[in-house]
Structure 1
Amino acid sequence: MNYDDVIIGGGHNGLVCAFYLAQAGRRVRVLERRHIVGGAAVTEEFHPGFRTSIASYTVSLLSPDVIRDMRLTERGLCIVERPFAGFVPYSDDRYLVLGGDPEKAQAQVRKFSEKDAEALPEYENMLSEVADVLRDIANKTPPNSGGGLRALLATAAQGYNLARLPVETQRNVLDLFTKSARSVLDSWFESDQVKGALGFDSVIGFYGSPDTPGSAYVLLHHFFGEVNGKRGAWGHAIGGMGAITAKMAQACVDVGVEISLNSPVCKVLVDNKRVSGVALESGEVVLGRTVVANVGPKLLYERLIEPQALSKPFRRAMSGFQTGCGSFRMNVALKELPQFTCLPGDGDHHRAAVFIAPSLDYMDRAYRDAREFGWSREPVIDMMLPSAVDPSLAPAGSHVAAIFCQQFASHLPDGRSWDDAREDAADTVIETINRYAPNFRDSIIARQILSPLDLERIFGLVDGDIMHGAMSLDQLWAARPLLGHADYRGPIRNLFMCGAGTHPGGGVTGLPGRNAAREVVRGW
């Protein structure tokens, strides 16, 4: 059977793209290499009785338009808002709670600085205003360099919306899109603890320092989402992230999408300078009028397409596309909840994200460590305890910790493989958490380790890059993945891209898939 659209990869963006294409009356087939749909947004058992979102682990950026159009809530998706955004323990028995009730948040910051407490509401309003700009841009196809009149009009339209903003907002947009997180935060706050807590998101999924230009944008990127209509909030999908993609798959099937599991693609077929379909590792050939790739640009152009099908300038440009976000994931089965020295007992802090990174200097050292040694001796850690919100994930009385760690090099400087270093790196993570919660190490029943190499092997994330490509200034908006291909179209006729390597980038948003579907339909 010939299809209108063949989609490589059944991750969330591939499913979103497939849904909109099928809704437009097209014959669509999704090819997923694993035994389960969802890509990196899946829920799996990693130890008998213990389930978790093994890769992507929290909800905020998922587009409300996608939720509405795919009727995910009506299909049973339940997202529970976390009581506050983050809990930051310190080694001196103090702590800071972020988000939640504005007055309580100010009171938390006041423990460290009266001046910073007064500045907090204005800073959050500023972030919210700029996030509105990002939301508007994220839902649109970027202007494509060399795209003629249409690209010119798109540039003018998106530029006009920005030009209409007050000049102060324009300055803030420029700062957050170009400066380092430290530079921005230094202009607002004085406390090292407050700046560290507010700057934590600037290095999540970003192999760099909070001193790196562009890290302020990474901070902003994690702020533009919402949960149940509340902007800037974070949540947990009951049943884990796999509940989201399972409901997406239901929506796809309901509009006629064919989903094939255990169907790894080994080659994109090119005939007379246009794609004609794909070949599977099984030997099956699937023909389609278009091929839409929900895999990273590096994987698509350097492993799935024969070099002679691409121009030499394009191959050279793609060789410079940067991957590697410095991420290291662990899932841990626990006998009990961590007991933090600074805040013992059970409480709402167990239902928030636990940020272990007490200052911007700590984050900077972690990055410099990774550059020199391969991973940080004191890693940046974002720990969720999803079973504290969703008891279905663990046996009664037990818990699951989803640990996301930052500043781990994709390739170790001494030439060792991550297969040889993963246990040592995991021990470093455990010991770091144990310094803040002394019962943590002894409460471990089992652990699952996902090094950058594991993330590549299991999920096809080249260099373990959860964003499908660095979220650096030269790889955003009209330059994502490359100038001339920001409109979701590849360099070969009828080839499209719909993954996180396209605008607006990484995170479980569904926006690359939604935007790409619009361009595929427009292309025909």
Structure 2
Amino acid sequence: MTTFGRDVYDDVIVGGGHNGLVAAAYLARAGRSVLVLERLGNTGGAAISSRPFVGVDARLSRYSYLVSLLPAKIVRDLDLRFAVRRRTISSYTPTERGGRPGGLLVGGGEQRTRESFARLTGSDREYESWRSFYGTTGRVAEKVFPTLTQPLPTRAELRARIDDEAAWRMLFEEPLGQAVERNFADDLVRGVVLTDGLIGTFADAHDPSLAQNRCFLYHVIGGGTGDWDVPVGGMGALTDALAAAARAAGAEIATGHEVLRIDTDGVAPAEVVFRTASGEGRVVGRTVLVNASPKALAELLGETPPPGGAAAAPEGAQLKVNMLLRRLPRLRDTSVDPREAFGGTFHIAEGYAELARAHAEAASGELPSVPPSEIYCHSLTDPTILGPDLVEQGYQTLTLFGLHTPARLFEKDNQQAREVLLTATLAQLDAHLAEPLTDCLAFDADGRPCIEAKTPLDLERELRLPGGHIFHRDLSWPYAEQGGRWGVETAHRNVLLCGAGAVRGGGVSGVPGHNAAMAVLGH
């Protein structure tokens, strides 16, 4: 059985994902004794890099892949050796109008973006609406993002901080679809805007729950700008740097330790029961921080979660596909270089009407007939994830993220549904290519094409994400809706939630880990 450095720790952290590592580094740097228990054989959770294709030197960000919500404050505070690179192109959305291929390119300078809007819509109106709309979200981002690492504001305090009633109503009170339809006329432009509200979130543009608004908000406030950047060296570079920072500060990290139970009365030090390959063991923590979902936390505490609460059963709604290509495919739209089109976010079947139809089909229990998705190429911005030989030969990675594919659609036969959906999704991409994508795929050492697809059920099985939900649950508003100074507190004073399911969680941000550490330290 594992022997740790001490019998009682100031802080035991359950889960060595990026948020748990952030918390560990902050607490250890404050002079506290810290133990991290991780079920898997490695730290990082969903924010890792790995080589999924046999015999191929391509280290992919296998699950999470872009960075926007990670505050520079955390990187500075923890002295992390980690950097991101800005993408020069924001997005490209191919389309066909009047029998001719074309598309909307956003990025590469204001004049170029303006001209692309004009070619698509025939006037400057949509581009001016675009500038105005994202000018509003940019001003909101500047005011909201800094609050993520501060004590939770009340709803009234955040509203006053934003100080723009029209923006508040648009983002926080009315369904996102109303703002999209009020500001934009073109179906393709409307769809491009809406997609940020649907990442990992199964909702219609007019969903009264406003789940789409909350998702949209987190996708446009990152860094105070809304930019989504490429992690240099892959996502694993971040979690490797976090693990190194935690260890350097004195934290112990034990992999291969699956936590089974947390026994606490909320006052006395809590007992954490874990399992290893050698059997069960126990360790005591004065405070326990749980880097897992609210649902998993309830299970560890032996509690029955209330229906409809944060610990209720969530449902993911995405298809994640990783690919390695020998070269980028040629496009039917010859006016744009494939290196630019794939360097940003390449939207597929994400027109406004297409998104609505896909949601309606999925809500009725059917796989979308025209699956919406978006693609980007990490290696165009950061080739360091590929071995030198692959770079020299022109190999590139592609990451595809499909929308409106809730876990329920895979419950009957996950493998068959995955294959059907992948085939249909790639067919939508092929419709905009001058050659089939399969002609460009690389092959691994065993002769198999370098492509893998992950459904919500695959993520649940591999990463213990409940229902395959990449945010652990539906995203919350970034203000206090109930008790708790930092949004990480639980009903037990000495047990905190430091995972993506905390208030202001979701994405690769480190914010819940930072906030849990601040709560422990009494800030």
2: CA distance between counterparts of 1:270 and 1:256? Answer: 25
| Paired residue secondary structure (2:10) | strand
Q: 1:317 to 1:433 in 2, by over 3 A?
A: closer
Give ranges in structure 1 of 5+ residues lacking alignment. 143-153
Q: Is the 1:182–1:210 contact (alpha carbons within 8 Å) kept by the matching residues of 2?
A: yes
Aligned length: 491
Residue 504 of structure 1 aligns to a residue whose secondary structure is coil
Alignment of 1:133-282 (within 5 A): 133-142=143-152, 155=154, 159-160=156-157, 162-163=159-160, 166=163, 169-213=164-208, 214=210, 215-226=212-223, 231-271=225-265, 276-282=270-276
> Which residue of 356, 362, 376 corresponds with 1:364?
356
- Give, in angstroms, the shift of residue 138 of structure 1: 2.1
Question: How far 1:23 sits from its partner (Å)?
Answer: 1.7
* CA-atom RMSD in angstroms: 2.4
1:156-211 deviations in Å (ceiling 9; x for gaps): xx734633654xx1221222113222211222122112211222211112111223
For residues 368 and 286 of structure 1, what CA distance do their matches in structure 2 show? Answer: 49
> 2:33, 2:251 within 8 Å by CA — same for their partners in 1?
yes
Listed one character per residue, the Cα deviations across residues 39-72 of structure 1 (whole Å, up to 9, x for unaligned) are: 1110000103132100001112211111111222
User: Percent of aligned pairs with the same residue?
Assistant: 29
Gaps of 5+ in 2: 1-5, 442-448
Contact kept in structure 2, 1:410 and 1:452, CA below 8 Å: yes
Asked if the contact 1:223/1:232 (under 8 Å) is kept, the reply is yes
Q: 1:5 pairs with 2, 11, 24, which one?
A: 11
1:425 to 2:421 alignment: yes
Is 1:20 the counterpart of 2:38? The answer is no
User: For the Cα contact (< 8 Å) 1:31–1:261, is it kept in 2?
Assistant: yes
- Identify the residue that residue 349 of structure 1 maps to in structure 2: 341
Q: Which amino acid aligns with 1:478?
A: A
**2:63 aligned with 1:55:** yes
1:90 equivalent to 2:95? Answer yes
Following TM superposition, by how much is the alpha carbon of 1:268 offset from its aligned partner in structure 2, in angstroms? Answer: 1.5
Q: Single out whichever of 435-444 and 292-301 deviates more from structure 2.
A: 435-444
2:431 partner SS = helix
* Cα distance in structure 2, aligned partners of 1:486 and 1:67: 20
- What is the identity, as a one-letter code, of the residue corresponding to 2:38? E
Of 84, 103, 127 in structure 2, the residue corresponding to residue 117 of structure 1 is 127
Matched position secondary structure for 1:281? strand
Contact 1:327 1:408 in 2 (8 A): yes
Instruction: Give the whole-Å Cα distance in 1 for the aligned partners of 2:266 and 2:350.
Output: 57
* Equivalent AA in structure 2 for residue 88 of structure 1: T
Q: Structure 1 20/164 Cα, relative in aligned 2: closer, same or farther at 3 Å?
A: closer
The match for 2:139 is: 129
Code of the residue aligned with 2:174 in structure 1: it is K
Query: How many angstroms apart in 1 are the aligned matches of 2:313 and 2:207?
Result: 15
Amino acid of the structure 2 residue aligned with 1:471:
L
| Paired residue type of 1:337 | L
Q: Counterparts of 2:35 and 2:161 in 1: how far apart (Å)?
A: 43
1:37 aligns with 2:32: no
| 2-structure distance, mates of 1:434, 1:491 | 51
* Counterparts of 2:69 and 2:266, CA distance in 1: 40
Contact 1:370 1:408 in 2 (8 A): yes
Show CA shifts across 1:70-113 (max 9, x none): 222xx2x2311111221111144111122452332222222214
Query: Hey, what's the Cα distance between the residues in 2 that align with 1:319 and 1:67?
Result: 29
Question: What TM-score comes out, normalization by structure 1 length?
Answer: 0.87
TM-score, normalising length from structure 2?
0.88
Within 1, Cα distance between the matches of 2:258 and 2:479?
29
